[in-house]
Amino acid sequence: MVESKEGYLMGARIADDGQWRFPEMDSVPSRFEKAIIYFEDEHFYNHPGFNPVSMSKALWQNLTTKNRRGGSTLTQQVIRLSRKNRSRSYFEKGIELFMATRLEVRYSKKDILRLYASHAPFGGNVVGLETASWRYFGIPSYRLSWGQTAALAVLPNAPSLIFPGKNEVIFKNKRDRLLKKLFENEVIDETTYQLAIEEPLPGKPMPLPDTAPHLTEKVRREFPGQRLVSSLEFSLQKRVNQIVKEHHHLLSQNEINNLAVLVLDVDSRKVLAYVGNAPSDGEHNPFVDIIDKSRSTGSILKPFLYAAAMDSGELLPEMLVADVPTVINGYSPENFDNQFNGAVPANVALSRSLNVPAVRLLRSYGLDRFYNRLKELHFTTINQPANHYGLSLILGGAESSLWEITNTYAGLAATLNFFNNSSSEYPSNAFRKPSITISSKADFIEKTSNPPVFDAGSIYKTFEALREVNRPQGEENWAFFSNSQPIAWKTGTSFGFKDAWAVGVTPKYAIGVWVGNADGEGRPGLTGVQAAAPVLFDVLRALPSSGWFGIPYDALVEADVCVKSGHLAGPYCDPIRKEWIPKEGLKSTTCPYHQTVFLNTERTLRVNSSCYSLSEMKQESWFSLPPVMEYYYGQKHPEYQALPPYQLDCLKDNELPMEFIFPKMGEAIVLPRNLDETLNEVVFSLAHHHPDSTVYWYLDDQFIGATHTFHELGYQPKPGTYMLIAVDNLGNEIKESITITLASP
């Protein structure tokens, strides 16, 4: 039996013996107490466990007439129930009499009455007053009217009366006689009596509430036979149920049939709402609780890598990271939109969930290091060695559950809250398991000066990045993001469009959403933004506003940061701004992209002392990216200015103005076959600081072509190993060893 934190019945499951039997009651409602005493045992509070007068009358009637009469007190009936209603005999009566007196000595009258109300039969497979109240009237026992109370009070004496269509006259007469007795003894007034006898009798048992069916099943497994007061908030659970139902109706039109939502209190880690699955039909696994099932994580782990890199001082919030074609041991990640940005601020890469920067960051941070951080965050389902996942770990190569993922986001928020609310200290157990019971206490007493995993400054800067809404192309399905309360949130989509995630945290709440098909079928449009995020923000609107996280100044330091690159400002950076960064960020590198250049008077060419008068040179600070980064960055940033070329008669520094885009170092080249078994060309490409240059291409010593402006060259070589050489018209040369193989037929 599961109740909400307010005491509402959320769900119940039948006992193993097939009986509807709730756990023992804490107390008996006063109406039922009066009704059962006047019906069964008027002298209950005065006798020692048996009533000699009643027993004598019953014995005389049983000996002198064919009518049978019982003289048992409520105490004796409790004994009979405890002895499984053994066959009646004078010997058995003697045992009951003896045990009843012992029961009266050891227990109070209130306790005996509570035992009776908890274990008496109420017809069919219904045992106990609370169970009967829900099964016959759909309300808790304390809300029963006098008519309903009287009907239930007469049932244990004759449980067979409850069958609809049979014995209704007898049932009503018994109930009305009890009501009249209560009226005559001034327990109820005349108006109450007249209204009570007009009330309908209970009929066919009603279904019990099942407001949180998957949590009820979880309780049945983990707390069998118990009456559990859960941490669920009744009104929130009902609202989330409705939200899930509405979104499932829309999603099912695209054959997306399953949906799960979990809401946690950040600090106490109590479960406030629990919807394990959508109310779909039986063919689509509606009874499967998806909250604790492992699914591909998609991009949902990226914020932990971002926080880890900042925590170690290897990344700053707005530091430019490379977003260019990348090949790592044959693995070539791609962004969701199949485009490259050249260079992008780290916080933008996170908010836009770009794959290439994430994979490159994981490689530089270290796969094993990040794997160990995930273990510290209590990801128990990521249980294979790090090399089993490889760099795809950050893009959904691992599996985890909504239970663990939502709890980990909550743990980050709890760490930040605790730091801000204490003397800049950390909780030792910020990532403990969530609790479904109201009785468990939050254990944040033990404090430590060391962060449990990430420090508060790194967490805060991660949340700031996640607060930025990445508005997609078009306006469809995006209205739910406007005017919403602040939230740090992240979506994820697994390979093959099989799993859609959306997880968000505020200072008070953590919300986790999973959408997909339990059987693993992928569907077009099954993405975190399109399928899961709308559910997340509908749930957010159902929660009270909790503001935004406080700034953890003791975990941050003010530093000079290069505006254009996001690095610590170097000697050539311009402009510079003050920014609060995590303390470890002071260990990061200074800006590598700003340099001092010397220009001619017109500022159109670079010069040096070998070709130009020192007195006429113009010195400037210039922001310049490496060739491949510049190639893609310039396409999206028209304000970007490439370095001017050197004046022709100047001796150049050791500068490589061009770089291969394809092939990259170590990249295998496979000649693809057409349907007619003919081979396609390979398209070689490079980026040049000065696209107007002419580039001459060679395979070994064989000239294969020249390019101008757009440096892409198609060629069909034979399989083998070659030296690819590119030389521009100024004599700059780059080369790369390549191996070409045929695609399998």
Supply 584's token pair.
């470890």
The whole-angstrom separation of Cα 519 and Cα 398 is 18
Average pLDDT on 5-24 reads 91
503 closest CA partner among 475, 473, 462, 556: 462
The pLDDT of residue 471 is 43
Q: How confident is the model at residue 482 (pLDDT cuts 50, 70, 90)?
A: very low
Q: Cβ atoms within 10 A of the Cβ of 601, count?
A: 12
Q: Which of helix, strand or coil describes residue 307?
A: helix
Q: For 592, phi and psi rounded to 5 degrees?
A: -90, 0
Write out the H or E segment, with its range, that includes residue 699: strand 694-699
Write out the H or E segment, with its range, that includes residue 278: none
Residues ≥6 apart with Cβ < 8 Å to 569: 559, 560, 561, 562, 576, 590, 591
Q: Does residue 465 have a pLDDT over 90?
A: yes
* Predicted confidence (pLDDT) per residue in 395-449, tens digit: 999 999 999 999 999 999 999 999 999 989 999 889 999 999 987 665 556 888 8
Average pLDDT on 451-468 reads 95
Burial zone of 368 (CB within 10 Å; 0-12 exposed, 13-18 middle, 19+ buried): exposed
The pLDDT of residue 473 is 42
Q: How confident is the model at residue 56 (pLDDT cuts 50, 70, 90)?
A: low
The pLDDT of residue 62 is 56
Q: Are strands 126-127 and 618-623 parallel, antiparallel or unpaired?
A: unpaired
* Predicted confidence (pLDDT) per residue in 536-568, tens digit: 999 999 999 999 999 999 999 999 999 999 999
Q: Does residue 472 have a pLDDT over 50?
A: no
Q: How confident is the model at residue 84 (pLDDT cuts 50, 70, 90)?
A: confident
Contact 483, 545 (CB under 8 A): no
Contact 698, 722 (CB under 8 A): no
pTM of the model: 0.85
Please, where are the H alpha helices in 379-532?
Answer: 386-389, 402-421, 456-467
Q: Does residue 515 have a pLDDT over 90?
A: yes
Q: Which residues pair with 3 in a beta bridge?
A: 9, 229
* Predicted confidence (pLDDT) per residue in 684-706, tens digit: 999 988 878 899 999 988 999 99
Q: Which residues pair with 426 in a beta bridge?
A: 448
Average pLDDT on 33-40 reads 94
Q: Does residue 478 have a pLDDT over 50?
A: no
Please, where are the H alpha helices in 65-212?
Answer: 74-82, 90-106, 109-119, 129-137, 146-154, 168-184, 190-197
The whole-angstrom separation of Cα 361 and Cα 328 is 12
469 closest CA partner among 450, 448, 490, 452: 490
The pLDDT of residue 475 is 40
- All structural domains of the chain: 10-197 (1.10.3810.10), 556-587 (no CATH), 593-654 (no CATH), 658-742 (2.60.40.10)
